[in-house]
Structure 1
Amino acid sequence: MMKVLAGVFRPVETVTAQGGRAVFHEAMGQVWLKAGARRRAEKGEAGAVVVVETMKAEARADPRLEEGLRLRFSGADWKVLVVDQTLKAGRMVLELERVR
């Protein structure tokens, strides 16, 4: 496992002047992660192949970290799928996903 500094981003949805919706990600700060091994799977539908990477990461307990946030580190954006705080006091495990 390697330690990385990750930016934390929250999705914010707005309505455009034309009545559509736009989503941007607002910075919330940074956290240190102990990143685990990446797992890669390919999913295909109608001739298109999508690569999905998953990873578990450990972090200090932080009330900002919740499902649906984005973490940016090592040049990639990862979505937080699950936050598990049962590891041990003061620590949490995050399940992350990246679709390429």
Structure 2
Amino acid sequence: MSGAMRMLAGLYRPVESQTPYGGRSVTFEAMGSAWLACGARRRSERGEGDEHHAVETMSAETRDDPRLETGRVLRFGGADWGIVTVRPLRPGRVGLELERRR
């Protein structure tokens, strides 16, 4: 990703718990940070029937880190991006597919 914008992102893992009223609560536990080389954002709409929501996706490249797993969250630029895919690129580097709903 030559020429890509570099960002420092906080890495978080979602922690689910049950509320006293039987509901579910999700909080985010900090796990560290990662430097990302981000690609362009892409927007689309997803949903079924009358219920649609905007979704932004982005590719990013970073150093290989075992903490980077599908389902975890990277927080940067004032937004939370879910890690959808982690794929090896070359030794020591991985590609990420990130997604956020708007």
TM normalised by structure 1 equals 0.92
Unaligned runs of 5+ in 2: none
Among 60, 64, 69, the residue aligned to 1:61? 64
Partner of 2:27: 24
Please state if 1:13 is matched with 2:12: no
Partner of 2:90: 88
Aligned partner letter, 1:37: A
* Structure-to-structure mapping, 1:32-51, within 5 angstroms: 32-43=35-46, 45-46=49-50, 48-51=51-54
Unaligned runs of 5+ in 1: none
What is the aligned-residue RMSD (CA, Å)?
A: 1.2
Q: Structure 2 CA distance, aligned partners of 1:63 and 1:22?
A: 26
Q: Structure 1 CA distance, aligned partners of 2:94 and 2:78?
A: 23
Structure with the higher strand share, 1 or 2: 2
Aligned residues, how many?
98
TM normalised by structure 2 equals 0.90
Aligned partner letter, 1:97: E
List, as ranges, runs of 4+ consecutive aligned residues in structure 1 with deviation greater than 2 Å: 42-45
